[in-house]
């Protein structure tokens, strides 16, 4: 499964770990997005899992977002909506999972990857983990991930990220604006912080954590419909000549 990416899981000491990998900068093709959503749901329902850790493999990019190869291959609205629904399913799986989720961000993250980082209940990042919402430059917009990002950073910072679609924002910027909970200056410290917090939470009351999760996500009960509506907007816009031309130029 290597060239198409893979998702691996482990459970140890009541800590469930989900790791995704794709050779193209840990980008997420449509099938992987659906597999990731299912995996999050399944792990969240296991009684022996008290806390979830979500991470990607390697020391490079955390997640390069959507697969450009797939985006450019979309040639009708239904295909477009189906593709963007992949990100909606992952975000909703993270939201509905009764377990608190720690997201480990070891490097740069773009688009959908920023959404996944935002949907963590506690996100720990390496200082190299700059973020960018590049969607507007592609002729679409950060519509599906928008609610997750805006929920964490507020409308003003979300506007900054989504309007200036070509600029990177530093990990420190992301921490100051509430997207990252903590920024570490080495990968060793990053792993140590993630492990220590996961071990702490593994010993806490699962019932108390499930109730806290509900409180943290208060007001998001409409996201099943909202994210589907957003996937429809992106699915329509991705068919434009603007998007096709942009990706062709980017790839060449």
CATH number for the domain that contains residue 23? 3.90.226.10
Angle at the Cα of 18 from the Cα atoms of 17 and 22, rounded to 5 degrees: 145
Q: By residue range, what is the domain housing residue 23?
A: 2-187
Assign 104 to helix, strand or coil.
strand
In a domain, 82, yes or no: yes
| Structural tokens at position 216 | 């943290």
Percentage of the chain exceeding pLDDT 90: 89
Q: What is the pLDDT of residue 251?
A: 78
For residue 179, count other CB atoms closer than 10 A to its CB.
Answer: 27
In a domain, 232, yes or no: no
For residue 206, count other CB atoms closer than 10 A to its CB.
Answer: 18
pLDDT band at residue 1 under the 50/70/90 scheme: very low
In a domain, 93, yes or no: yes
Number of domains in the chain: 1
In a domain, 40, yes or no: yes
- Over residues 153-194, the pLDDT tens digits come to 999 999 999 999 999 999 999 999 999 999 999 999 999 999
State the pTM of this model.
0.96
Is 100 a residue whose pLDDT tops 80?
A: yes
In a domain, 201, yes or no: no
In a domain, 238, yes or no: no
Q: What is the pLDDT of residue 2?
A: 58
- Whole-angstrom distance, CA of residue 101 vs CA of residue 44: 9
Query: Contact 104/54 with Cβ under 8 angstroms?
Result: yes
In a domain, 38, yes or no: yes
* Segment 30-37 mean pLDDT: 96
Query: Contact 57/21 with Cβ under 8 angstroms?
Result: yes
In a domain, 83, yes or no: yes
């Amino acid at each position: 499964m290597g060239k198409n990416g893979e998702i691996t899981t482990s459970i140890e000491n009541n800590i469930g770990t989900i790791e995704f990998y794709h050779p193209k900068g840990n980008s997420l093709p449509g099938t992987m997005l659906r597999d990731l959503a299912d995996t999050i749901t399944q792990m969240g329902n296991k009684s022996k899992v008290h806390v979830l850790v979500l991470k990607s493999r390697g020391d490079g990019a955390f997640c390069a977002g959507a697969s450009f190869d797939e985006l450019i291959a979309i040639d009708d609205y239904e295909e477009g909506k189906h593709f963007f629904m992949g990100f909606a399913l992952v975000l909703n799986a993270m939201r509905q999972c009764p377990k608190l989720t720690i997201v480990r961000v070891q490097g740069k993250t773009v688009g959908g990857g920023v959404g996944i980082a935002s949907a963590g209940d506690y996100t720990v990042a390496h200082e190299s983990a700059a973020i960018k919402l590049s969607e507007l430059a592609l002729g679409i917009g950060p519509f599906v991930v928008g609610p997750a990002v805006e929920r964490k950073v507020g409308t003003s910072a979300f506007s900054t990220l989504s309007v200036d679609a070509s600029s990177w924002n530093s990990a420190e910027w992301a921490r100051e604006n509430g997207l990252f909970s903590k920024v570490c200056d080495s990968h060793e410290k990053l792993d140590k912080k993630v492990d220590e917090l996961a071990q702490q939470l593994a010993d806490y009351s699962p019932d108390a954590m499930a109730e806290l999760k509900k409180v943290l996500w208060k007001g998001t009960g409409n996201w099943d419909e909202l994210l589907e509506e957003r996937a429809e907007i992106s699915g329509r816009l991705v068919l434009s000549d603007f998007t096709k031309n942009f990706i062709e130029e980017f790839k060449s």
